[in-house]
Chains A and B, each alone.
Chain A
Amino acid sequence: MAIKTFSSGEVLTAADTNTYLTNSGLVYVTSGSLSGATTNFQNCFTATYNNYRIVIESMGTSGTGDFYLRLLQGSSETQGATANNYWAYVGLLSNGTTANSAIASSSVFFLGAGYTGANTASGQCVIDISSPRLTQKTLANVQTASVVPGAYSTRNGMCAFDLTSSFDGFAIKSLSAVTLSGLVTVYGYRKV
């Protein structure tokens, strides 16, 4: 439902403009560039929103490596690293080769992008994560586009954390010495 409906010739005030900025559907929360093998985005899941969109653009690696996400409690990854993470992806390469990926137990969310050798600005990932801060299971829909040798790759699927833990942040990791590059932006879905 619209916050307010204007008529022709009516003045749009600063107060109205601020109201629209505050109450837009998808609200900017934070952003930051990836650095090294692990970058923490701490305290970005708050009581203000239940659902979040995380966009990673210009994805790249210093060598052969993958993009992973681990849920955080403060700066701690202890709970998120338990073997209660799952993922399932339908994948396809631009040459027609199937590139599905699934796992029955892991300590991380795989984000669907695996790189061979060094790559610069060669991928994009959109993660819609529901209720990470609530004491219920945390599930995410993930869409990723990236490159593999000789082709482009897409994976669409889900990641899940199977315990009713509350998380207030996340880490983007390579799980190796390979360093990651890219820009991460976090948005919150406005609650009604």
Chain B
Amino acid sequence: MTRKIYVYDHLTGESYERDMTPEENAQADLDEQEKKAVEE
């Protein structure tokens, strides 16, 4: 599953939604594991 990120870029003034990169998706998987570990 590809997750989404919403972005506000102060430098360009742009705001947009984009798909997470493979690296960001991998980090999100780690984040979910960390959250579960903290909760347990």
A→B interface (CB under 8 Å): 29-30, 32, 34-44, 46, 66, 75, 77-78, 81, 103, 106-108, 169, 171, 173, 175-176
Contacts and interface: CB of A to CB of B under 8 A. Distances in A.
6 contacts: A39-B7, A39-B8, A42-B7, A44-B8, A81-B31, A169-B10
Interface of B: 3-12, 15, 17, 20, 23-24, 27-28, 30-32, 34-35, 38
Contacts of A81: 27, 30-31
A125 B23 CA distance: 29
A81 B8 CA distance: 20
Question: Secondary structure of the B side of the interface?
Answer: mixed
Given A30-B10, A32-B15, A103-B38, A39 B5 contact: yes
A40 B20 CA distance: 11
